[in-house]
Amino acid sequence: MDVLLSERKFLDFLNSLKSIDFMDINDIHNKFTTYQQIVYKYNLKFNMISHNDIEKIWTRHFQDSLIPLLLFPEQFRINSFLENSFSNKINLKDSLNHINYSETINKKSKIDIIDLGTGAGLPGIPLSILLNHHKFNLVESNKKKHFFLENVLIPILKLKNVEAICNRAENLVGNRNYKDSFEIVLTRGMAKFPAALKLSLPFLKIGGFAFFWLGSEISESDIRDIIEKNKGFSGGIFLKEQEYYLPNDSKSRKIVVVKKVK
């Protein structure tokens, strides 16, 4: 898929989002266009996105980062805004059965979100552009990538709700400013699932949610087994698995959500 087609697919995706309090669609598109241009300009220097993916950045990275808003809007304290006709376009493997989280969230309040191993700001930056009323903490241990986030990307995009943190997740989790401090933790490609689970859950408050972007090679039964084996340490329970497909991509993907209960 060429860059222009990828961008058009992403715009279709943006235009399908309904009932969310964000900026107008032109402003959002402009921010993503600037984001794409910055990554293209600096990618070789900072080695943020693989060469094979750079031409697919609109769907492979930007749209993929936003998929949780379609599947689990309640966890981000927004109303469901998936247009029914669009559910077929992202080829959800099963129907959307949104869970009622009203006992644990206040949709009007700001939430703190941490993105572990963010790299080029994915998925944290795309989500922060739409959810500019929430606070995003982007954790990246690579000094060059952190420099890019803090001194190039965040200032140019004028993202006042985003902070870049240069550290390793395992170092931060013992810090009382980070341990048990977040409503949502995001891990998209930080580590394989067992390691990502162990690193992520300590950051969550009780009642918080961890999102894991996984490939189709790990089964739901294996995921459940890993979560159950680590339950005593992490306090997490399996909440939901959702498989989906990106435009013009036959590869099955999935997002797994784990809830911290103790």
* 104 has pLDDT over 70: no
Among 164, 162, 167, residue whose Cα is nearest residue 150: 164
Residue 70's pLDDT band (boundaries 50, 70, 90)? confident
pLDDT at 84 over 70: no
Each residue of 4-30: pLDDT tens digit? Answer: 888 999 988 887 765 455 557 888 999
Q: How confident is the model over 160-183, as a mean pLDDT?
A: 95
pTM for this entry: 0.89
Chain center to CA of 48: 16
Q: If we measure between CA atoms, which residue out of 207, 237, 204 comes closest to residue 223?
A: 237
pLDDT class of 136 with cuts at 50, 70, 90: very high
The per-residue pLDDT for 105 is: 41
pLDDT of residue 206: 96
- Range with lowest mean pLDDT among 32-36, 110-114, 202-206, 244-248: 244-248
d(CA 69, CA 86): 13
* Token pair for 194: 């067992």
Q: What is the DSSP letter of 49?
A: S
| DSSP count for the chain of H helices, then E strands | 11, 7
Domain 3-260 indexed as CATH 3.40.50.150: yes
Confidence of residue 193 (pLDDT cuts 50, 70, 90): very high
Is the separation of the CB atoms in 258 and 237 below 8 Å?
Answer: yes
Confidence of residue 1 (pLDDT cuts 50, 70, 90): low
Q: Indicate the domain borders of the chain.
A: 3-260
Alpha-carbon distance of 35 to 52, in angstroms, equals 18
Is residue 90 pLDDT above 70, yes or no?
no
Question: What values do phi and psi take at 10, rounded to 5?
Answer: -65, -40
